[in-house]
Structure 1
Amino acid sequence: MRKHIIAAIQSHAAAEYPKECCGLVLAVGRAQKYFPCRNIATEPNEEFLLDPEDYAAAEDLGEVIGIVHSHPDATSRPSSRDLAMCEATALPWHILSWPEGDLRTITPTGSTPLLKRPFVHGVQDCFAVVRDFYMRAMGIELPNYQRTDGWWESAENASLYEQHYKAAGFEQVDSPQRGDMIVMEVGRTAHPNHAGIYLGTNPTLPGEESAVFGPGPFVLHHLYGRPSEVIVYGGPWLQRTRLILRHKEAR
């Protein structure tokens, strides 16, 4: 990274300390510049949320080629969310520890494993693993509905699965086959709020090495606060099932 951009990032981090600063690296013609943005997170000392109006203003000036934020009183080591968001944005992320001053860059790999991915709500969660499976296994791109914190405990969750599955190309079936979406009800809720992929007796995942999980049948899912995993589909999971959905293009 060019020296004048590093200096601008350091100056921004110092001005915002002890809050996290955030900004964008832009390509403006042949030149590059740092575009400082507002951090509108509820807890800016702990995380950042880049103001979308600032992002739009930056795009009017040039091409966004990197995302920047600081880690106050911490190392530049990326968090699980940093890694997940780097993949989601498909852009390099530059992380500055402050006041230490260490700058680290992480780059997207282009593919997050379906298995053992950390949970990051809205980015790497149960619906995300479903979307990624459909794209990798069948080439089907599902809509990416916005998920706000706590949706799974309120009536709002109905809009994600119960109200949207038909528009997303799914129809309800009575018995599952490999690739179907299993929609379940977990925790204290009156609506289905969790989903996984029915794998049948073959736990192999697209692009990943197969493993022995037991006799099956299996479901790939991603519970809140836990790594994504393949489980045996039976017992309480079968009892929690509320919908079995098959995509029209998967027939």
Structure 2
Amino acid sequence: MPHLDPEQLSLLALYGDWDDADGRQHLDVCPECAADYAALRRTVDAVRTAPDTAGLSVPGPQVWAGIHRELGLADAVREDPLSGPGTKPAEAPAEAAPSNVAVFGPRKKAWWQRTGTWIAAAAAVVLVAGGGIWASMRPAQPPQPTQLAQAQLTPLAQYSASGSAKVVEAADGSRSLEVSLDKDEAKGYQEVWLIAPDLSRLVSLGVMASDSGTFQVPAGLQLADYPIVDVSDEPVDGNPAHSSVSIVRGTLTS
């Protein structure tokens, strides 16, 4: 089944009331995504513990200058928010602070000293970073097979089983026939066939030991030439030919 993407998992972990019923239902049935979600939740719980900032020192203006440069922030927020009025980063040109930018005085608490802001910022940073690492390390999901044709299988005389069949193509171009019945009614054993429209030619795909099975379709075989799916009741007599007794039959359509 498709897994939840990193952004979806991060939102579910960060916000307990995030409106994503499908995502939470997926976590109930997918152990792999549930494990990733649990790891992210532990991260969120960890950063929700307010830090002891009493012993922390205010970083110099060069720290904000580096952050501003690395993130490519606008000039309007070039001024160090932890500096007093008029203090500029070391490499910033001297200029008046824009009128629409709040300047933090030395008596006000720094952003990292305000508990609510610290929690939200730390959780967001950890989840974004963790989600990126998780996404890069998680194995890529293999391409899903493409369905080429399908058929409804109906019972023939003296049988009541029914089911379905479909032909799917893998990424490498190989094809397989997937057959599913609601019961196994064979008195001997079940054999799966592809048959020409006039019933004059047929190809055996193999024995189906239960009520379902997957069988390789020979390379080069044209489904238009063999569109009939047939499950026969074969006696254990060593004869490889069709017994002429079919349990179900149906025609493939695209």
TM-score by length of 2: 0.24
Structure richer in helix, relative to its length: 2
Which TM-score applies when normalising by structure 1? 0.24
Q: Which has the larger radius of gyration?
A: 2
